[in-house]
Amino acid sequence: MYSLFVLLFRKSYWLMLFRKATWYEAWLSLKRVHKDRRARKHLLLFLFQLLIPFLCAAWLAWAIGTGAFIVVPIVFLIIWWRNRLATKEVAVSLSIKAPPPPAYRELTSEDRRKLRSCFEQLTLIYAVMTDRAGSEAFLKNKALPEGVEVVSRRIHLDLLKSRGLWDKLSSSDRRAMMMPDGHWEWPLINHTYLAVEPLRLLRWMLRIDYYLPVIGQQLRIDARLANELVRAPAKVFEADGLISQQQVEIGRNAARQYLVRCIAEEITRGYRKVDDGEDSQWATNYSAAMSGKQHEDFVLGGKLVSEATQEELGWAVTLSRSRMNFLNWALATMNNPVMPELTAEVQQ
């Protein structure tokens, strides 16, 4: 019970619980719960997390009713003290052994400050560009009442200039941002929307968001990730955390696995051409080994990769490659002893 009470005082627990994406992911698992043991495991864990406050409240009610509440603080203090001693003993035992060579460059406080500054600026740039794309898409689909003025362009330009980010944009991005509201064409809108994936990753790296879902759980574009930061840019600078290189590598490897699986499926179905002389048998073997296996194959939304449409596969490949490439860049940047100058180019 002690660990459950501790969890209630962690910010990450409540952020996780009230994420809209958390409930969406639970809904996806619910649709697959009858045929996928991974979905059952995820749903049970989600339900347990929901019950933690009620379990703690019920335990406190029982303790008060039986009179055991008097000794509860003493018991918690003893448990806390034992955990602290155990942590110290582990630290001492590890210090006796020769430390293994670090897999990554150890970041100093100055390194962390510079990295956060770089990532913070990138976050705002991607947020502004994605939010502008969302505004332009809205204007393409909706007819505004007479006399209504759209001010997205003005808000975005003011934000970029007030934060000293205007000159850090590429020339093509500056031209796009200077265009009047409603003048973006669909190719530009759709291409700029792809910046939502780096934005999602930057929010995770800066610990604005504490959880990064796998590719298959976030196939939908959520422009609110950008609009929230445009409306309240101070949110980018509120926290002082920074993701570790180990976590970045885990995210990168997961994206690579999705990318390889989806490309293998595209090659097997003939959606993707391979160069002459290139061996494509691996793709056929890989797809055959995973096809139709509800407990093993990768999931895209509520479907297995082997059940996905051509459009769904193509979008998953785009997102997976974007995530893998961005996290490769982030990992290289974090391990580079010389911090690079920020150069941001959303329009490729």
Q: What is the DSSP string of 32-95?
A: HTTT-HHHHHHHHHHHHHHHHHHHHHHHHHHHHHHTGGGTHHHHHHHHHHHHHHHHHHHHHHHH
Distance CA 296, CA 187 (A): 37
Distance CA 169, CA 122 (A): 10
Q: Are residues 203 and 320 in the same domain?
A: yes
3-class SS of residue 211: coil
| Residue 102 maps to a domain | no
Q: Are residues 144 and 41 in the same domain?
A: no
3-class SS of residue 10: coil
| Number of helical H runs and strand E runs in the chain | 15, 2
Q: Are residues 193 and 75 in the same domain?
A: no
Report the domain count for the chain. 2
- Reported as a single tens digit per residue, the pLDDT across 145-167 is 554 446 688 999 999 999 999 99
Q: Are residues 285 and 185 in the same domain?
A: yes
DSSP per-residue codes, 262-280: HHHHHHHHTSS---TT---
Q: Are residues 147 and 248 in the same domain?
A: yes
The backbone torsions φ and ψ at residue 89, rounded to the nearest 5 degrees and listed phi first, read -65, -40
What is the predicted pLDDT for the residue at 92?
42
Using CA atoms of 291, 293, 297, 301 in order, give the dihedral in degrees to the nearest 10: 100
Q: Is the pLDDT of residue 99 over 60?
A: no
Q: Are residues 90 and 219 in the same domain?
A: no
Angle between helices 224-231 and 109-141 (to 10 degrees): 110
The domain boundary, picked from 39, 72, 96, lies at: 96
Q: Are residues 151 and 244 in the same domain?
A: yes
Name the helix (H) or strand (E) containing 300. strand 299-300
Q: Are residues 245 and 132 in the same domain?
A: yes
| pTM (whole model) above 0.85 | no
Mean pLDDT value across the chain:
81
Q: Are residues 55 and 125 in the same domain?
A: no
Q: Are residues 84 and 182 in the same domain?
A: no
The domain boundary, picked from 63, 96, 129, lies at: 96
The domain boundary, picked from 41, 61, 96, lies at: 96
Q: Is the pLDDT of residue 180 over 60?
A: yes
Q: Are residues 148 and 112 in the same domain?
A: yes
| Residue 132 maps to a domain | yes
| Residue 101 maps to a domain | no
- Reported as a single tens digit per residue, the pLDDT across 239-274 is 778 999 999 999 999 999 999 999 999 999 989 888
Query: For residue 161, how many C-alpha atoms fall within 13 Å in the half-sphere facing its CB?
Result: 9
What is the predicted pLDDT for the residue at 148?
46
Domain that holds residue 67: 2-96
